């Protein structure tokens, strides 16, 4: 009997939703006749917490809400949402109550079919397993997806350099036609073809030396003045090989040929651009820049560097390090230029970098975060003007280069943050001793601090003061904990919108405030609590796990959540920059794939459980 | 055994049936295909879903509407065989259809055509139920009672399939939605949802008006 092709509609529906989308076509075809269909009116319970799940329900139309024992919203789902899967898979009672919030049609898959699918299809099975394991795979896949095969910067293939389709002309066309075509297309060379086959190349240089200088009639054929049978390269050839070919032959154009047909052109400019996208070259060029304008010019290359990193599947952690390194090089050169202008500093000082760059986690489009730490010999009336001028020169220089001023005024231009060590010591004592909300906010900025320029001993002393102060201050840590636990982490997505715990919907996802920052704060809290020297989020988490403050599982889950969110932001920013928009942290949830939505939900879940663990360890309830 | 009038809907067994025919007249037109799917209480059982094409040598123009090719119809099964299978699927069940008089009339004629007595079970009609639901909210406009419009009103997926099984399934889903709405204030039994002639409703509202 032919399969129930009449149930194609249901098969197609399943094929569009996880985890069924991972099943082979023949298996999908066999599922609909084994299902039944039920209906739940708005407001009724679809599956109660504590009950035994006997089937997997899949929302076909309508919407459901999942709430935990305390009545807190856990998830809101529309068509495609699976209900009862985790309980079925583990054989435990249904953990949350599922309500229909709209009239809801459900497909019901009997337990035996469910278990059979799990046994035979690993992707289907893993969908219902512990969310963190899935997140780890997602992080790996996230990188694989953008990259294709792993490639290092210098071993890019020729196909990565080809930016436009080849422009060609027939061999019997006139030289004049060829010149006009080149002019119209704004190209410096044109491929000459006979049918589909490449027979020659005509360059600007040929037009000059073989036509104009030789007084050849432009009405004559291209074939008479072209370079016949030019050197070519293949799309899969290493870019380095193409570069060597150009240098060896002293030419500027290399046609790319595949199966005898030209598919593109590599020029000396393309190869130069490849080299410019290398952060090592970029840092070197910045350190040699004679003025702020040159640095500003060089800084535009950073975006290309990041785009390259994303393309290669670099982790967000490593990409953050590269962006930080370039940012450091820029800041150091701007300070050096300012010093050269102002003369030697009157007393020793340290230029401090704060915030994400201090943690080696800089993204694109950050604003400035810095401060000045001065030697205790500092006398305001004598030395104030020099340091005031330094702060202003550097800040305005950075602004010119493309780093906006800090909206919270956490900059060296603010006299409050341009102080001798003694005053900083008092600041630290105040933050730790009198943890008002404002003090906690300031502490969260100034406890992520790194030496950038000047006397490193000064910075080391301040960092040591901070570490000592924080470790022995349980009340201060409890306030940091309360702040970290209080952030609203989204629940997930519902029809292209972000849902938070209150059930409210938003049409943008703030990846930074809604996720990344919370992990950063959690890591900072635990890092300070265990006296860790580490500054980066992942290193702090590692130290916290080693100190027994965070369980190894939660530590690993948090790392994955941070990496997933940070990578998502990185890609988002690269796309924005490519589209000519300023980079920000606001992701339109409707642009996220089902895959991304699902794993974001998992990442949010990990963050919420880490927040829950903090609320257990610290008396946060009494403080909020 | 045919369910009696007092059977509660959560225990009522139905068979949603849809016919593809060559036209609208039971006297002159013929059945091209039959689709059905069982409803057990509040569940549609897809494993019982069937579509049977009736063998036919000269199907006329209707083929273009239903997407049935001449080859499909020539490879179909004899009408008597299809009806026998339907009858056995209907056993112990109430017939469910959108505009049930149409299905009942065509099936009656078809049974007679193969020389059988047209014994047909009680029927529940989703068009009739939809009219009752809409009358509660006021005027019923033309078109409101059509299957896909009715589904839309209940937020059911708008699908593209229009073969006999697809429409039987669409009707079965509509039935679940309608009875959920009708039964919101208390459990219903077969007598509450059985097909009634429209004039009974009119008579009732007329009587209400006089009281």
Give the Å distances, CA to CA, from A229 to A220, A223, A226, A245, B120.
Answer: 19, 11, 9, 15, 85
- The answer to whether A113 and A34 are in contact (CB under 8 A) is yes
DSSP code per residue over chain B: -PPPTT-BGGG-EEEEEEEEESSS-TTT--EEEEEEEEEETTEEEGGG-EEEEBP-S--TTTHHHHT--HHHHHTSB-HHHHHHHHHHHHTT-EEEETTHHHHHHHHHHHHHHTT-------EEEHHHHHHHHHHHTSPPPTTTTSHHHHHHHTT-------SHHHHHHHHHHHHHHHHHHHGGGS--BHHHHB---HHHHHHHHHHHHH-
If phi over 0 gives left and psi between -120 and 50 gives alpha, with beta otherwise, what is residue A84?
left
Three-state DSSP state, A547 = coil
Gap between the Cα atoms of A164 and A360, Å rounded = 36
Residue B103 lies in a domain: yes
**Min CA distance, A580 vs chain B (Å)?**
40
Task: Tell how strand A189-194 and strand A168-170 pair up.
Answer: parallel
Give me the DSSP letters along A382-438. Answer: HHHHHHHHHHHHHHHHHHHHT-PPPTT--STTSGGGEEEHHHHHHHHHHHHHS--HH
- Model-level pTM greater than 0.95? no
Determine the distance in angstroms separating the CA of B53 from the nearest CA of chain A, rounded to an integer: 12
Give the closest-approach CA distance of A6 to chain B in angstroms: 6
Of A109, A108, A127, nearest to A118 by C-alpha is A127
Nearest to A105 among B45, B47, B173 (CB): B173
Query: Is B157 within 8 Å of A4 when comparing Cβ atoms?
Result: no
Question: What is the spatial distance between Cα A59 and Cα A230, in angstroms, rounded to a whole number?
Answer: 62
Q: Is A43 on the interface with B (CB under 8 A)?
A: no
For residue A98, what pLDDT is reported? 94
Whether residue A496 has pLDDT greater than 80: no
- CA–CA dist A455, A339 (Å, integer): 14
Instruction: pLDDT band for B52, please (50, 70, 90 cuts).
Output: very high
Query: Coil, strand, or helix at residue A199?
Result: strand
A118-130: burial string, b at 16+ Cβ within 10 Å, e else: beebeebbebbee
Asked if B41 has any chain A CB less than 8 Å from its own CB, the reply is no
CATH number at residue B109: 3.30.420.10
Token pair belonging to A591: 């642009």
**Cβ B151 vs Cβ B174: under 8 Å:** yes
Of A79, A103, A108, the CB nearest to B177: A103
Between chain A and chain B, the number of residue pairs with CB atoms below 8 A apart is 72
Domain membership of residue B198 (yes or no) is yes
Nearest by CB to A33, from B49, B161, B166: name it.
B49
Average pLDDT for residues B68-89, to the nearest whole number? 85
Cross-chain residue pair A39–B47, CB shorter than 8 Å: no
CB distance A39 to B42 below 8 Å:
yes
Closest alpha carbon to B179 in B167, B163, B190: B190
Chain A, 439 to 478: residues with Cβ < 8 Å from chain B are none
pLDDT tens-place string over residues B130-144? 998 888 877 788 788
Nearest CA to A369 among A323, A403, A410, A420? Answer: A410
pLDDT tier at A3, thresholds 50, 70, 90: very low
Q: Closest-CA residue in chain A for B175?
A: A39
* Annotated domain spans of chain A: 5-129, 161-270, 277-471, 480-623
Q: Is A498 left (phi over 0), alpha (psi -120 to 50) or beta?
A: beta
The answer, yes or no, to whether the previous bond of A19 is cis (omega within 30 of 0) is yes
Sign of CA dihedral A323, A329, A334, A339: positive
**B186 located within any domain:** yes
Spatial distance between the Cα atoms of B195 and B78, rounded to a whole number of angstroms: 30
d(CA A553, CA A238): 42
CB A256 within 8 A of CB A263: yes
Q: Shortest CB distance from A41 goes to which of B43, B160, B181? A: B181
Q: Using the beta-carbon criterion (under 8 Å), do A39 and B181 form an inter-chain contact?
A: no
* Mean pLDDT of all residues in A190-219: 90
CA distance B138 to B129: 14
CA distance B174 to A134: 38
- Answer whether A41 sits within 8 Å of B180, measured CB to CB: yes
- To the nearest whole number, what is the mean pLDDT of chain A? 87
Q: Determine phi and psi for A605, rounding to 5 degrees.
A: -60, -40
The pLDDT-based confidence of B118 (bands split at 50, 70, 90) is confident
Burial tier of A382 (Cβ tally within 10 Å: 0-12, 13-18, 19+): exposed
Q: What is the mean pLDDT of the segment spanning A81-109? A: 92
Separation between Cα atoms, residue A76 and residue A505, nearest integer Å? 10
> What residues of B are in contact with residue A38 (Cβ under 8 Å)?
42-44, 176
Q: Taking CB atoms and an 8 Å limit, are B180 and A38 in contact across chains?
A: no
User: Is residue B75 very low, low, confident or very high in pLDDT (cuts 50, 70, 90)?
Assistant: confident
Alpha carbon of B210: minimum distance to chain A alpha carbons (Å): 35
Averaged pLDDT, A148-166: 61
When CB atoms are compared, the residue of B154, B161, B176 closest to A8 is B161
| Cα→Cα distances A414→A377, A466, B94, Å | 20, 21, 82
Q: For residue range A231-253, what is the model confidence (pLDDT) as tens digits? A: 888 888 877 778 778 877 788 88
Inter-chain touch A6–B49, beta carbons under 8 Å = yes
Residue B65 has pLDDT above 60, yes or no: no
Write down the pLDDT at residue A2: 41
Residue A435 CA to residue A429 CA, distance in Å, equals 10
Who wins on pLDDT, A538 or A581?
Answer: A538
A218: exposed, middle or buried (Cβ count in 10 Å: 0-12, 13-18, 19+): middle
Q: A41 phi and psi, to 5 degrees?
A: -75, 150
State residue A152's pLDDT score: 45
Tell if the CB–CB gap between A41 and B184 is shorter than 8 Å. yes
Q: Which residue of A has its CA nearest to B41?
A: A38
CB atoms within 10 A of CB A272: 11
Q: Which of A31, A33, A37, A113 to mutate to test the interface with B (most CBs of B within 10 A)?
A: A37
Closest residue, chain B, to A12 (C-alpha): B159
What pLDDT, on a 0 to 100 scale, did the predictor assign at position A8?
82
CB interface of A with B, residues 68-127, below 8 Å = 79, 102-103, 105, 108
CA distance B107 to B114: 11
Q: Are A141 and A596 within 8 A, CB to CB?
A: no
Cβ-based contacts of A35 with chain B (< 8 Å): 46-47
Establish how many alpha carbons lie within 13 A of residue A198's alpha carbon, considering only the half-sphere containing its beta carbon: 26
Query: Which CATH class, in words, describes the domain spanning A277-471?
Result: alpha beta
Q: Give the CA count within 13 Å in the CB-facing half-sphere of A166.
A: 26
Q: What are B102-117's pLDDT values in tens digits?
A: 999 999 999 999 998 8
In a domain, residue B2? The reply is no
CA atoms within 13 A on the CB side of A112: 2
CATH of domain A5-129: 2.60.120.10
In terms of DSSP H, where are the helices of A25-174?
A: 25-30, 85-90, 111-120, 122-127, 131-147
Average pLDDT of span A554-571: 91
B47 touches chain A (CB under 8 A): yes
Class of A161-270 per CATH?
alpha beta
Any idea what DSSP says for residue A536?
Answer: S
Q: A480-623 maps to which CATH number?
A: 1.20.120
Q: Which residue in B34, B38, B44 has the most chain A C-beta atoms within 10 A of its own C-beta, making it the best mutation to test that interface?
A: B44
Which residues numbered 134-193 in B keep a CB inside 8 Å of some CB on A?
A: 154-157, 159-161, 163-166, 169, 172-173, 176-177, 180-181, 184
CA dihedral A601, A606, A612, A617 (to 10 degrees): -170
CA quadruple B161, B165, B171, B177: dihedral sign: negative
Q: Which residues of A touch B160 (CB under 8 A)?
A: 9
Mean pLDDT over B5-28 rounds to: 91
Q: Using 50, 70 and 90 to split pLDDT, how confident is the model at B87? A: very high
Instruction: Tell which of B38, B171, B180 to mutate to test the A interface (max A CBs under 10 Å).
Output: B180
- Domains A277-471 and A480-623 alike in fold: no
Q: Of B9, B10, B44, B46, which to mutate for an interface test with A (greatest number of A Cβ within 10 Å)? A: B46
Domain assignment of residue B3, yes or no = no
What tokens were used for A318?
């490593």
With respect to residue B91, please indicate whether it lies within any of the assigned structural domains: yes
The answer as to whether B62 is a domain residue is yes
A9 → closest Cβ in B45, B155, B166: B166
- Whether chain B has a CB inside 8 Å of the CB on A277: the answer is no
Q: List the structure tokens of A491.
A: 């629940």
Higher pLDDT, B134 or A136: B134
Is residue A447 predicted with pLDDT exceeding 90? yes
Q: Which domain holds residue B177?
A: 9-210
Q: What is the pLDDT of residue B84?
A: 94
Question: Strand B94-97 relative to strand B123-125: parallel, antiparallel, unpaired?
Answer: parallel
Checking if the pLDDT of A148 tops 50, the result is no
Q: Do A39 and B176 touch (CB under 8 A)?
A: yes
Q: How many domains does chain B have?
A: 1
Q: What percent of chain A has pLDDT over 70?
A: 94
Per DSSP bridges, beta strands B94-97 and B13-21 are parallel
Least confident of A4-18, A263-277, A387-401: A263-277
Higher pLDDT, B118 or A131: B118
Instruction: Look at residue A336 in the predicted model and tell me its pLDDT.
Output: 95
3-state secondary structure (DSSP) of residue A258: strand
Name the residue with higher pLDDT: A598 or A341.
Answer: A341
């Amino acid at each position: 009997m032919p399969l129930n092709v009449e149930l194609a509609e249901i098969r197609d529906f399943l094929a569009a939703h996880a985890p069924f989308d991972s099943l082979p076509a023949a298996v999908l075809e066999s599922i609909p006749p084994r299902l039944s269909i039920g209906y739940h009116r708005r407001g009724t319970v679809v599956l109660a917490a504590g009950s035994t799940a006997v089937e997997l329900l899949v929302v076909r139309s309508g919407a459901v809400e999942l709430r935990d024992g305390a009545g807190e919203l856990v998830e809101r789902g529309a068509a495609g949402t699976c209900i009862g899967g985790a309980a079925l898979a583990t054989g435990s009672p249904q953990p949350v109550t599922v309500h229909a919030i709209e009239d809801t049609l459900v497909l019901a898959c009997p337990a035996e079919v469910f278990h059979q699918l799990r046994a035979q299809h690993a992707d289907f099975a893993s969908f219902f397993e512990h969310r963190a394991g899935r997140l780890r795979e997602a992080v790996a896949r996230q990188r694989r997806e953008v990259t294709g095969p792993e490639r290092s910067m210098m071993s890019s293939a020729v196909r990565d350099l080809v930016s436009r389709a080849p422009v060609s002309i027939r061999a019997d066309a006139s030289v004049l036609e060829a010149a006009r075509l080149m002019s119209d297309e704004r190209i410096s060379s044109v491929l000459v073809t006979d049918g589909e086959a490449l027979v020659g190349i005509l360059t600007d240089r040929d037009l000059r030396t073989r036509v104009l200088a030789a007084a050849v009639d432009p009405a004559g054929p291209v074939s008479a003045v072209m370079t016949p049978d030019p050197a070519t390269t293949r799309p899969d050839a290493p870019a380095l090989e193409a570069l060597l070919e150009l240098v060896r032959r002293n030419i500027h154009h290399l046609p790319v040929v595949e199966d005898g047909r030209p598919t593109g052109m590599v020029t000396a400019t393309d190869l130069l651009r490849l080299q410019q996208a290398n952060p090592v070259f970029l840092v070197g060029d910045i350190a040699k820049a004679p003025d702020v304008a040159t640095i500003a010019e060089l800084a535009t290359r950073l975006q290309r560097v990041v785009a390259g990193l994303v393309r290669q599947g670099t982790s967000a952690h490593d990409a953050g390090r590269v962006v930080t390194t370039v940012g450091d090089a820029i800041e150091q050169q701007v300070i050096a230029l300012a010093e050269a202008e102002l003369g030697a500093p009157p007393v020793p000082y340290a230029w401090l970098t704060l915030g994400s760059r201090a943690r080696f986690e800089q993204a694109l489009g950050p604003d400035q975060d810095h401060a000045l730490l001065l030697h205790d010999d500092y006398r305001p009336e004598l030395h104030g003007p020099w340091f005031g001028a330094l702060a202003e020169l550097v800040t305005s220089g950075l602004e010119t280069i493309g780093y906006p001023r800090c909206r919270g005024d956490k900059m060296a231009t603010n006299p409050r943050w341009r102080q001798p060590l003694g005053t900083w010591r008092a600041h630290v004592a105040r933050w730790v001793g009198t943890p008002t909300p404002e003090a906690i906010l300031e502490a969260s900025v100034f406890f992520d601090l790194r030496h950038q320029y000047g006397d490193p001993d000064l910075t080391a002393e301040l960092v040591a003061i901070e570490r000592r102060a924080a470790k022995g201050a349980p009340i201060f840590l409890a306030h940091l904990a309360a702040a970290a636990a209080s952030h609203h982490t989204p629940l997930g997505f519902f029809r292209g919108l972000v849902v938070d715990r209150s059930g409210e919907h938003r049409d943008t996802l703030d990846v930074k405030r809604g996720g990344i920052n919370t992990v950063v704060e959690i890591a900072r809290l635990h890092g300070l609590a265990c006296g860790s020297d580490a500054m980066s989020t992942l290193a702090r988490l590692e130290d916290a796990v080693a100190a027994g403050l965070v369980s190894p599982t939660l530590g690993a889950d948090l790392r994955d959540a941070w990496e997933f969110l940070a990578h998502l932001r990185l890609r988002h920013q690269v796309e924005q920059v490519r589209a000519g928009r300023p980079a920000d942290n606001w992701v339109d949830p409707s642009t996220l794939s089902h895959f991304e939505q699902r794993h974001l939900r998992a990442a949010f879940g990990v963050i919420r459980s880490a927040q829950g663990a903090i609320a257990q360890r610290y008396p946060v309830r009494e403080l909020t | 055994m045919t369910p009696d009038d007092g059977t509660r809907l959560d225990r009522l067994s139905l068979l949603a049936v849809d016919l593809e025919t060559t036209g609208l007249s039971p006297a002159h037109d013929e059945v091209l295909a039959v689709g059905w799917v069982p409803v057990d209480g509040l569940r549609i059982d897809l494993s019982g879903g069937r579509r049977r094409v009736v063998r036919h040598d000269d199907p006329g123009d209707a083929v273009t509407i239903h997407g049935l090719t001449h080859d499909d119809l020539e490879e179909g099964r004899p009408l008597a065989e299809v009806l026998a299978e339907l009858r056995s699927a209907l056993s112990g069940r109430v017939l469910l259809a959108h505009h049930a008089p149409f299905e009942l009339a065509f099936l009656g004629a078809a049974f007679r055509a193969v020389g059988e007595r047209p014994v047909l079970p009680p029927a529940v009609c989703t068009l009739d139920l939809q009219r009752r639901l809409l009358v509660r909210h006021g005027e019923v406009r033309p078109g409101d009672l059509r299957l896909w419009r009715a589904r839309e009103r209940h937020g059911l997926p708008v699908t593209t399939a229009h073969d006999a099984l697809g429409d039987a399934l669409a009707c079965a889903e509509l039935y679940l939605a309608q009875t959920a709405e009708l039964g919101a204030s208390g459990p219903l039994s077969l007598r509450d949802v059985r097909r009634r002639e429209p004039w009974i409703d009119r008579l009732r509202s007329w009587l209400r008006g006089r009281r």
